[in-house]
Amino acid sequence: MAKGKRPYRPKMTQAGLAPTHAVVAVDEHGDSRDMEIAGEFPLTIKVDDKEVVTLMTLGTYPEALTLGYLRNQRFFEELEEIESVAVDWDREQVSVTTIHGKGIVDWEGKMAKRTVTTGCGQGTVFSCTIDKLYDVRLPDIMLKQSTVYGLLRNLARHNDIYKKAGAVHGCALCQDSEILTFVEDVGRHNAADAISGMMWLDGVGGGDKLFYTTGRLTSEIVMKAAHMGIPAILSRSGITHMGLEIAQDLGVIMIARAKGNHFLVYNGVEQIEFDAKPKSKPPPRASSKTVNVA
């Protein structure tokens, strides 16, 4: 992108919903309590009037979620192919209009093979997503142990919706220990797609970024990070075998079980600089027993 030139942005609605809703619940003592619960709404994506998929979402960033989904599934390679994104919650759909008006190229072929993933709410991966995965070339980066610690401390200040209502996952786009974007949704794959859509809209590259999720690192999440061009992923949860295999194939640094001053590196340990000094062990405590010396 030329210096000073703003990235292309399609015409879009701004139809984000409130993330939580007030309800009354009764606790174990029979007392009524005012509570907040997370939203969950169906959103059907249509491209040039052809239905693609229905997502269950919190609804806070529907336009970015739509664009990120289309991008991470590799239905579109360039944002300039998309003319507009219009969300209509009354109809529970988002209408995507392309510049050429022909919808998704080779739609029947791309729909021929679909895999239902282990994502919350069941995600879907299309054959074209996997076919183009190994075209990805991620940069080799070095990641400091101290950066991971700093990032984990900063992440502790987020998860606002989870703290209020539970029932959601959070994902973050990070640079060093700074959190650039934090998104929560009812599924971590939705939160990842929303971040991808925001990156696409703002012309942000992933080569010097880290991707964080509160959920497990499955094959789907590793693929989404790779399609965003992000070479390192971090989770407070665990990983799956296929997620690890894909990370190894693509050269993605994979760190999981990350909380406080603890983490496990499952792939890319040679790219980790262990620069944080270990805490010195305390001296042994003197025995409190009285010893009589003759």
Tell me whether residue 2 is in a domain.
no
Number of domains in the chain: 2
Find, among 52, 126, 61, the residue nearest to 96 by Cα: 52
Same domain for 170 and 126, yes or no, is no
Tell me whether residue 289 is in a domain.
no
- The CATH number linked to 222 is 3.40.140.10
Same domain for 226 and 257, yes or no, is yes
Same domain for 87 and 61, yes or no, is yes
Same domain for 112 and 177, yes or no, is no
Same domain for 15 and 102, yes or no, is yes
Tell me whether residue 282 is in a domain.
no
**DSSP-based three-state secondary structure for 49:** coil
- pLDDT tens over the chain, length 294 residues: 445 577 899 999 999 999 999 999 999 999 999 999 999 999 999 999 999 999 999 999 999 999 999 999 999 999 999 999 999 999 999 999 999 999 998 777 766 655 545 454 445 555 555 667 777 889 999 999 999 999 999 998 888 888 888 889 999 999 999 999 999 999 999 999 999 999 999 999 999 999 999 999 999 999 999 999 999 999 999 999 999 999 999 999 999 999 999 999 999 999 999 998 755 555 666 554 444 443
Same domain for 80 and 192, yes or no, is no
- pTM listed for this prediction: 0.87
To the nearest 10 degrees (0 to 180), the angle between helices 219-227 and 241-250 is 30
Same domain for 167 and 213, yes or no, is yes
Query: What residues make up the domain containing 160?
Result: 143-273
Residue 142, C-beta contacts closer than 8 angstroms, at least 6 positions apart = 271, 272, 273
Per residue in 9-29, pLDDT (tens digit) is 999 999 999 999 999 999 999
Last residue of a domain, one of 82, 111, 134: 134
Distance CA 55, CA 11 (A): 21
Same domain for 160 and 263, yes or no, is yes
Q: Token pair of 235, please?
A: 């989770």
Count other C-beta atoms under 10 Å from residue 259's C-beta. 12
